[in-house]
Amino acid sequence: MTINYPQGTNLTANSITKKGPTIFGDRGMTLEQEINESNAYYRNHKVAVIYKKPTPIQIVKVDYPKRSRAVIKEAYFRQASTTDYNGVYQGHYIDFEAKETRHKRSFPLSNFHEHQIQHLDSCLQQAGICFAIIKFVTLQRYFVLPAQVLIDFWQSAIKGGKKSIPLAFIEKKSLEIKAGYNPILPYLDICRQLINQTGENHG
């Protein structure tokens, strides 16, 4: 199945269901699965209400090989996606992107898109708590990178700076998440620290 962005870029069905090759960590789960299960835990325990954002797709071609079955052959994204997740945590609007890489020493900035950076910046201007969760698959390490740090690095790259974020920089500027059991990825513990920092900055 071919799915097209509004600008005309073609994607296969596999590239829609996955943001890259399937990567199995120690738990046999992708970052998206880990976050989704963690969000389910948070909702079930009334800690937060955070969901993965649906991407609106317009179907334009469908085949019916059998009467009881339809196969989508072509579809279009109605609009470019923003970030992966948003919701509410203790009265605060939460908005973040989730990315993973097999690189060991840096994270390619090309994994982000300009409209995602602009969206995070707009949310920050409305006092949202915004960040990116980055997973180094091979290292089995998870980081919460504050959106403002990501935005500043992006703007520096546009002016000729580095096109990949070094791991050492991420270690210095991010907060690391230690994977657990319930939830699998307790990223809201880090989110609470970001909220506290935001309060101090506005105090």
Residue positions in the annotated binding site?
82, 84, 97, 116
* Distance between start and end Cα atoms, the chain: 52
Q: Which residues are annotated as a binding site for Mg(2+)?
A: 82, 84, 97, 116
Distant-in-sequence, close-in-space partners of 94: CB < 8 Å, separation ≥ 6: 48, 50, 85, 86, 87, 88, 128, 129, 130, 191
* Closest CA relative to residue 16, chosen from 62, 60, 55, 52: 55
Q: In this structure, what token pair is assigned to residue 10?
A: 């073609």
Q: How far is it, in rounded angstroms, from Cα 2 to Cα 62? A: 11
DSSP string of 46-109, one letter each residue: TS-EEEEPP--EEEEEEEEEETTEEEEEEEEESS----SEEEEETTEEEEEEEEEES-SSEEEG
